[in-house]
């Protein structure tokens, strides 16, 4: 089933949306992230995408307390949680998985230490999401600050044979709310061996429907929902 997943991005104790992942370009900053997460659940979200942006920039998890409060609320409502940002070692990942997080998202760790992520994937099938963030056609890591030499499909091929999900984000369009590059998305979905979630630039119902047609598993949407460019209820009715 295709999913529309709201993003709950955490920075300095608030729920925020950034433009192109740049800490100084804050589009939205809201207090009480737990209340916001509960609101998405009450509006019909079946999965929440929670990212510790402070952890992404700092290389460690900073918002454990808020994350686990959201997880507790999600369990009461049978809502799936997936958490990323600052998960740079197996201990952090296993702590999250052991305390109720349904899936963890790893990007930098998946690039720097694939053996660790493969071991996690074996131990926790269908609970590991490898984040593939690309800029100019190449994978970027460490909060999108470092560019690698790998294309998204080359990076994905490292994990062939493992029971994981992929999350593809096109940094070139992320946070701009000007639409998506469907050709790039279609190429990735067609050329990897995993279910693919898509994020970045999604700003219309047509974007969502067109991504669904590529065969992607779902979309993660942040800025367009928080700025009311898109209404969550409209999306879930039309998919």
Catalytic residue among 9, 52, 102, 207: 9
Q: Kindly write down the DSSP assignment for every residue of the chain, as one continuous string.
A: --EEEEEEEEETTEEEEESTT-TT-EEEEES-HHHHHHHHHHTT-SEEEEEEHHHHHHTS---HHHHHHHHHHHHHTT-EEEEESS--SHHHHHHHHHTT-SEEEESHHHHH-HHHHHHHHHHSTT-EEEEEEEETTEEEETTTTEE-S--HHHHHHTTTTS--EEEEEETTTTTT-S---HHHHHHHHHH-SS-EEEESS--SHHHHHHHHHHT-SEEEE-HHHHTTSS-HHHHHHH-
9 belongs to the catalytic site: yes
190 belongs to the catalytic site: no
Catalytic residue among 52, 102, 133, 207: 133
Phi, psi of 8 (to 5 degrees): -120, 95
In this structure, are residues 5 and 21 in contact, taking their beta carbons and an 8 Å threshold?
no
What residues act catalytically? Answer: 9, 133
């Amino acid at each position: 089933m295709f999913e529309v997943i709201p993003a709950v991005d955490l920075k300095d104790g608030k729920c925020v949306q950034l433009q192109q992942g740049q800490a100084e370009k804050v589009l939205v900053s809201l207090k009480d992230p737990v209340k916001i997460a509960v609101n998405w659940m009450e509006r019909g979200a079946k999965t929440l995408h929670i990212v510790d942006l402070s952890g992404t920039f700092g290389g460690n998890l900073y918002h454990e307390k808020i994350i686990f409060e959201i997880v507790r609320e999600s369990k009461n409502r049978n809502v799936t949680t997936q958490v990323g940002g600052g998960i740079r070692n197996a201990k952090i990942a296993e702590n999250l998985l052991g305390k109720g997080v349904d899936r963890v998202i790893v990007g930098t760790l998946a690039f720097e230490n694939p053996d660790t992520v493969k071991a996690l994937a074996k131990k926790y099938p269908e609970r590991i999401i490898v984040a593939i963030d690309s800029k100019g056609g190449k994978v970027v890591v460490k909060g999108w600050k470092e560019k690698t030499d790998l294309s998204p499909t080359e990076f994905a091929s490292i994990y062939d044979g493992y029971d994981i999900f992929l999350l593809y984000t096109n940094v070139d369009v992320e946070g701009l709310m000007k639409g998506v590059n469907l050709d790039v998305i279609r190429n990735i979905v067609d050329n990897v061996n995993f279910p693919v979630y898509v994020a970045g630039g999604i700003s219309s119902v047509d974007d969502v429907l067109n991504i669904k047609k590529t065969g992607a598993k779902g979309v993660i949407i942040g800025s367009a929902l928080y700025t009311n460019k898109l209404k969550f209820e409209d999306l879930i009715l039309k998919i």
